[in-house]
Amino acid sequence: MTELDEIGAWLRDRLPELSAENGVPGVAVAISAGGETVEAAAGVLSTATGVEATVDSVFQIGSVTKVLTATLVMQLVGEGQVDLDAQVRTYLPGFREATVRQLLCHTSGFEGDVFTDTGKGDDCLEKYVDLLADVPQVFEPGEMFSYNNAGYCVLGRIVEVVRGKPFDACMRDHLFTPLGMTQAANDPYEAIIHRAAVGHLGRTPSRLWAMARSNAPAGSMLAMTPRDLLAFARMHLADGTFKNMRQPQVVLPDIGWGTAWGLGWALYDLPGGLVFGHDGNTIGQSAVLRVDPGRDLAVAIFTNGGNRKPLMKEIIDRVLESPEEPVPDPAARLNARRCAGTYLSSTNETTVSEDGQGRLWLDYVPLGITAELGDEPYQTELVAWRGDALLPVEPGHGPVAFLGDDGTGRARYLHTGRVDVRSAGRIPA
């Protein structure tokens, strides 16, 4: 029995237990090594219907879509039709200052959580990109990393302008079909012909499946089986054309998202070598893709609700080397004055304050679309970890970093993967 066979046997035995232990309604997993693949599924696609989850079920992949969008762009780069360091306005006249490379590695600096629905027509991306003229510039292009959904919609628009056809047609013609991703679906109209998972909020099926078509290049619609996603991952393992997508473009702060970001990929510099991948979330559905090129191994995990993180972590830890979990440093000291303040974006307001015992607290309030999609307020204590990076005590929340200087010794930015800016005049006592 090979190592992959042993992993497959463990997965088939353990997956139903993991699903039940973590309240995950349905889960599907595929793992490949060399030319071999093992698959398993457990649970149901919807608690309302009781339809069984199988390895042929399609789940939404959320922001994992971004790596597929990046690959479509890199195909054009390879064909000499797009220059990574050209201004976006070379392809989209009138667009703000930013290069194609900066969009790919999330360093363009403009507000990125823009989810405006511009309709279901083939002109939806064109209309969406036009709206970005009024979006605030948070920092200078190239200054730092800040996860940017809108930037990937712009990349999708570049793809359809250069190819001369809608983005979903580009996705099918240049990735799905040549890679044999036979159950990959661009939208709910395609997904419905397959055995499709429904997202759950708790144990309740969501009444909303797809989000806006104008956000498709960033991850609002794509669905497939884990096997389909591994076909895409194996292309990146086999084809050296795309190897430069794994090269670090920007170093990340200590926020638990990896070591650096490449051209689409999150990069994890681990003692055993590089691992790259991406995560994705939609309404009640989640996906994880991890690839270890040194072992020629890839794993895709899809879920449709529940406490997905412990389930995904146990599977990834079983097959791949994983980053160490952050642990508070008792010797480190908090700089409360530097951190305290209110930080704003279009999607949240976060207040950091010091109490009478010198403890630091973070209060998060969702705004706009994040509140509409069910994101909830929370409060957590922050404890010292690494320099300007602090750890929330409340489970389920990753490290936060306080960056820059507002001119008075206080942090200008709160970094949680996205950059929020200190709001002048709103510093708590």
Concatenating the DSSP letter of every residue in 339-358 gives H-EEEE-SSEEEEEEE-TTS
Residue 258: which of 302, 291, 297, 210 has the closest Cα? 291
Same-domain pairing of 181 and 234: yes
Residue 97 structure tokens:
């200052």
Residue 153, in any domain of the structure: yes
Q: Does residue 20 sit within a domain?
A: yes
Of 306, 325, 344, the one marking the end of a domain is 325
Query: Could you tell me if residue 398 is inside a domain?
Result: yes
Considering the domain architecture, whether residues 266 and 411 belong to the same structural domain is answered as: no
246 and 127, same domain (yes or no) = yes
Residues 398 and 312 in one domain: no
Write down the pLDDT at residue 373: 67
Instruction: Please report which residue ranges of 327-415 form alpha helices under DSSP H.
Output: 336-339, 368-372
Same domain, 319 and 375: no
Taking a C-beta distance cutoff of 8 angstroms, is the pair 420, 414 a contact? yes
Alpha helices in 132-183 (DSSP H): 149-163, 167-171
Q: Which residues pair with 26 in a beta bridge?
A: 43
265 shares its domain with 384: no
Q: Is residue 330 part of a domain?
A: no
428 falls within a domain: no
Total structural domains within the chain: 2
In a domain, 152, yes or no: yes
Query: What is the per-residue pLDDT for 324?
Result: 87
Mark whether 225 and 351 lie in a shared domain.
no
Whether residue 331 lies inside any domain: the answer is no
**Same domain for 198 and 82:** yes
Q: Which of 63, 108, 206, 214 is catalytic?
A: 63
Domain hosting residue 410, numbered range: 336-422
Task: List, run by run, the mean pLDDT of 10-residue segments along the chain (429 residues).
Answer: 92 98 98 95 98 98 98 98 98 98 98 95 98 95 98 98 98 98 97 97 92 97 98 94 96 96 97 97 96 97 97 96 87 90 94 94 92 85 94 92 95 97 61
Do 224 and 266 belong together in one domain? yes
Task: Respond yes or no: is residue 214 known to be catalytic.
Answer: no
Q: Give the CATH number, domain containing residue 58.
A: 3.40.710.10
For residues 191 and 175, give the distance between their C-alpha atoms in angstroms, rounded to a whole number: 17
Structure token digits, residue 320: 């791949």
Same domain? For 166 and 294 the reply is: yes
Residue 103 lies in a domain: yes
Q: State the pLDDT at residue 426.
A: 42
Instruction: Among 325, 347, 366, identify where a domain stops.
Output: 325
Q: Which of 262, 296, 325 is the last residue of a domain?
A: 325
Global pTM reads 0.96
Instruction: Say whether both 318 and 245 belong to one domain.
Output: yes
Same domain, 229 and 305: yes
Q: What are the DSSP E strand ranges found in 248-296?
A: 250-251, 260-261, 266-270, 273-281, 286-292
